C-alpha cells in the first residue's frame, strides 16, 4: 500500500513537471521566431523533463527505501531482535527515526519487565503471607473450639485462654510486620531524617527489648557519646536497631551479653551490636536479610523472619548499610553505618 502511494506521488510530480515544462515551451515557441532558438529551447525543455523524471525516480526510491527501513525496524522490534540495516552513528533521517523507535521499544520492554517483576513479587508476597498467617489462624480455631466444650475445667479453660491470647498477639505482631513490609515493598515507606542525638535513638530501641533481656538474665551495655548526632529518622531508625537487638536477645542464651558500641567512622557513624549467641554461618550472612528467612538451627525460636529484612530496608533508605560478622558458637556482630 505504501509503495503504491509512493509511485502515485512520483507520477503526479513527474506529470506536473512535464505539464509546466510543456507550457513554458509553448509560450517560448509562440513568441520566439528563430528556428535555431526554438530547437535550443526544445532541447533545454527535453533535458528538464529528463531531469525531472530522474529526480522523481530517485525520490521515489529514497521514500521506498525509507519506508522499508522503518518497517524492518518495527518488524525487528516486534520480533525482539536488532534491525539488519541500523547504523546508529549515521547522520541521516532514517537512522534518527530508527533510533527513536528503538528507544521507545526499549522503554516499553523495561516497562514489561518491571510489570512482570512486580507481579512475581506480589505473587511471592501473597504466598509468604498466606503461609505465615495460616499457623496462628489454625491454632486460634483449634483453641476456640476447645473452649466451647461444656465439660472443660476452669483451670484448663484459663490455660487455653492464655494460649489463645498468645496466638492473637503473634498474629497481631505478624500483621504489623507485614504492614511495614508492604510499605517497604511498594515504596510508600516515607522517612524524615533530621539531625538528632544517636544516644536517644538507641535508648528508644533498647526499651523494646529490655524486659525480654531481663527475663533471660542477659546484660545489655551501651558505649555511646551523648553528643554524637547524625541525620536520621528517629522513629524508624529506633525500630531498625530494635529489630537487631531483638534478634540478638532472642538467639543469645540465658546469662549472655549484648553490647552496643557507637564510633564515628570515616564518612559514617558506626553502631556495633554484638551478642554472645549461637552465631551465623558465613555462607548465610546475606540470607539473614532476606524476607521470611529462618535458619534451620533457629527454627525453635519464635519469629517470622522479617526483623532484619525491615531493619536493612530502613537503613538502606537513609543511604546507610548493615554488615555482619559472626563466629559459630561465639556470637554475632551487626554493624549499622549511618551517614554522619
> What per-residue string of b and e applies to 73-102 under the rule 16 or more CB within 10 Å gives b?
beebbeeeeebeebeeeeeeebbeebbebb
Q: How many CA atoms lie within 13 A of 251 on its CB side?
A: 27
Task: State the residue for C-alpha cell 513490609.
Answer: 181
pLDDT score, position 242: 92
pLDDT score, position 229: 92
Q: Which of 24-28, 46-50, 95-99 has the lowest mean pLDDT?
A: 24-28
Top pLDDT among 213 and 176 is at 213
pLDDT score, position 230: 93
pTM: predicted TM-score of the whole model, two decimal places: 0.57
pLDDT at 258 over 90: yes
pLDDT tens digits, one per residue of 285-316: 888 888 777 666 655 556 667 789 889 989 99
pLDDT score, position 53: 67
| Residues with Cβ within 8 Å of residue 307, at least 6 apart in sequence | 177, 243, 244, 246, 247
pLDDT score, position 1: 42
pLDDT at 222 over 60: yes
CA angle at 146 for the pair 144 and 152, rounded to the nearest 5°? 130
pLDDT tens digits, one per residue of 138-160: 888 888 888 888 888 888 888 88
Amino acid at each position: 500500500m505504501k509503495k503504491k502511494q509512493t509511485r502515485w506521488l512520483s507520477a503526479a510530480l513527474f506529470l506536473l513537471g512535464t505539464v509546466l515544462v510543456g507550457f513554458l515551451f509553448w509560450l517560448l515557441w509562440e513568441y520566439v521566431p528563430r528556428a535555431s532558438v526554438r530547437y535550443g529551447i526544445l532541447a533545454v525543455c527535453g533535458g528538464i523533463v529528463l531531469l525531472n523524471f530522474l529526480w522523481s525516480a530517485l525520490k521515489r526510491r529514497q521514500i521506498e527505501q525509507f519506508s522499508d527501513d522503518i518497517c524492518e525496524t518495527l518488524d525487528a522490534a516486534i520480533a525482539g531482535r536488532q534491525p539488519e540495516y541500523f547504523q546508529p552513528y549515521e547522520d541521516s533521517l532514517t537512522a534518527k527515526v530508527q533510533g527513536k523507535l528503538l528507544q521507545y521499544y526499549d522503554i516499553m520492554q523495561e516497562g514489561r519487565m518491571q510489570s512482570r517483576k512486580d507481579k512475581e513479587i506480589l505473587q511471592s508476597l501473597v504466598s509468604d503471607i498466606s503461609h505465615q498467617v495460616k499457623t496462628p489462624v489454625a491454632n486460634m480455631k483449634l483453641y476456640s473450639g476447645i473452649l466451647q466444650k461444656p465439660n472443660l475445667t476452669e483451670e484448663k479453660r484459663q490455660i487455653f485462654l492464655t494460649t489463645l491470647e498468645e496466638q492473637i498477639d503473634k498474629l497481631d505482631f505478624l500483621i504489623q510486620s507485614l504492614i511495614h513490609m508492604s510499605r517497604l515493598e511498594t515504596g510508600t515507606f516515607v522517612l524524615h531524617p533530621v539531625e538528632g542525638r544517636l544516644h536517644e535513638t538507641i535508648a528508644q530501641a533498647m526499651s523494646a527489648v529490655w524486659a525480654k533481656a531481663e527475663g533471660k538474665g542477659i546484660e545489655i551495655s551501651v558505649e555511646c557519646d551523648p553528643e554524637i548526632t547524625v541525620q536520621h529518622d528517629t522513629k524508624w531508625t529506633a525500630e531498625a536497631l530494635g529489630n537487631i537487638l531483638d534478634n540478638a536477645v532472642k538467639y543469645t542464651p540465658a546469662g549472655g551479653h549484648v553490647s552496643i558500641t557507637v564510633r564515628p567512622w570515616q564518612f559514617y557513624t558506626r553502631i556495633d551490636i554484638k551478642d554472645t549467641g549461637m552465631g551465623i554461618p558465613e555462607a548465610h550472612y546475606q540470607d539473614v536479610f532476606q524476607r521470611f528467612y529462618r535458619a534451620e538451627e533457629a527454627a525453635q525460636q519464635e519469629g517470622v523472619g522479617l526483623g532484619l529484612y525491615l531493619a536493612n530496608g530502613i537503613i538502606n533508605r537513609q543511604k546507610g548499610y548493615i554488615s555482619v560478622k559472626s563466629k559459630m558458637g561465639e556470637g554475632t556482630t551487626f554493624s549499622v553505618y549511618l551517614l554522619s
